[in-house]
Amino acid sequence: MNGIGEVIYNIFVNNLNIPESLSEFVIIGFSIVTWLLLGFIINRVSKPVINKLLRIEKKGARAKTVANLLWSVTRYLVWFIVLMLIFSSLGVDLTPFIASAGVVGLAIGFGAQEIVRDFMSGFFIIFDGEFQVGEVIEVKGFKGTVIMIGLRTTVIENWKGERKIINNGNIDSVINFSRNQSIAVVDFGVAYDTDLQKLTEIMPAFLEQEDERYGDIVEMPKFLGVTELADSSINMRIIAKTEVMKHFQVERDIRKDLVMYFSENEIEIPFPQVVVHNA
């Protein structure tokens, strides 16, 4: 009888006078409940302890990613140990199980190569730092924010709230949008009868206005000039370097301001036109 069994035996048999015929069932039942409860408690406590030890609030996304990995490993390990202890409480001889674990593990390895590949890829993703929780990436045409990096899978959520769960072994190429500053690209068109000299002269004032107005712009916007002679317009382009992933909002802001600025300066933004010639 193990230590916990002796304690339960003393409480229920010696103190509460439970018949010895039922003592074995009582001891086994309470042992199982005790191990399960202990497993729940350890798993509940382990996550905040790991987060505190790694100081994820100060060290950022990489520390959070490693903390999630350690918690995942701890969770599996705790429940494996609890399962072994429950088998021991039931009187199951674990010696044959342990002796055959190598053979079983080898068989599982051949039958679960994809799972092993996912686990190995997960370790390399985390420790190589290809991407981290909170970063925006694109994998196999799906673009979104990394919600979770686990041992087997990575979860990405796009701007519509759709979540894609990808096996780590299937992540063979990644576009990471969160490591460098972004570029806002604004294409616009003006009418063919526009005074291009006047347009060129008034653009610097507009660019200075935008640079001062929006804090997400980190470098003076640039007017690149004519990019295309389209059917109904002369197309031009403005670019602006922004904070990471802020370029979408900056593009919308610049387009809105362009419409107002051109209206004030009597510059026409054309719409598609079709010219019909009578025979």
List per-block mean pLDDT (blocks of 10 residues) for the chain, which spans 279 residues: 55 56 66 82 81 68 69 80 79 64 56 71 78 88 88 88 90 85 92 92 94 92 93 92 90 95 91 64
User: How many CA within 13 A on the CB side of residue 50?
Assistant: 19
What pLDDT was estimated at residue 228?
92
What pLDDT was estimated at residue 241?
93
Is 54 within the bounds of a domain? yes
Q: Do both 62 and 141 map to the same domain? A: no
Q: At what angle do helices 101-111 and 113-128 cross, to 10 degrees?
A: 90
Is 253 within the bounds of a domain? yes
**Largest CA-CA distance found in the chain, in angstroms, rounded:** 114
- Choose the final residue of a domain: 115, 148, 176: 176
What pLDDT was estimated at residue 202?
93
What pLDDT was estimated at residue 104?
56
Q: Do both 45 and 83 map to the same domain? A: yes
What is the domain-level CATH number for residue 134? 2.30.30.60
What pLDDT was estimated at residue 24?
66
Q: Do both 192 and 165 map to the same domain? A: no
What pLDDT was estimated at residue 197?
92
| Owning domain of residue 93 | 3-99
| 2 phi-psi bin (left φ>0, alpha ψ -120 to 50, beta other) | beta
What pLDDT was estimated at residue 89?
72
Is 113 within the bounds of a domain? no
What pLDDT was estimated at residue 256?
95
| Sheet (strand 234-242) strand order | 182-190, 234-242, 222-229
Q: Do both 152 and 204 map to the same domain? A: no
Count the domains in the chain.
Answer: 3
Q: Do both 17 and 73 map to the same domain? A: yes
What pLDDT was estimated at residue 181?
84
What pLDDT was estimated at residue 151?
75
What is the domain-level CATH number for residue 197? 3.30.70.100
Q: Give the pLDDT confidence of 48-98 residue by residue, as tens digits.
A: 787 777 666 666 666 666 777 777 778 878 888 888 877 777 777 666 666
Is 122 within the bounds of a domain? no
Is 278 within the bounds of a domain? no
Q: 172 is written with which tokens?
A: 């063979």
Which residues partner with 154 through β-bridges?
149, 166
Q: Give the pLDDT confidence of 85-97 residue by residue, as tens digits.
A: 777 777 776 666 6
Q: Do both 78 and 150 map to the same domain? A: no
Q: Do both 171 and 190 map to the same domain? A: no
Q: What is the mean pLDDT of the chain?
A: 80
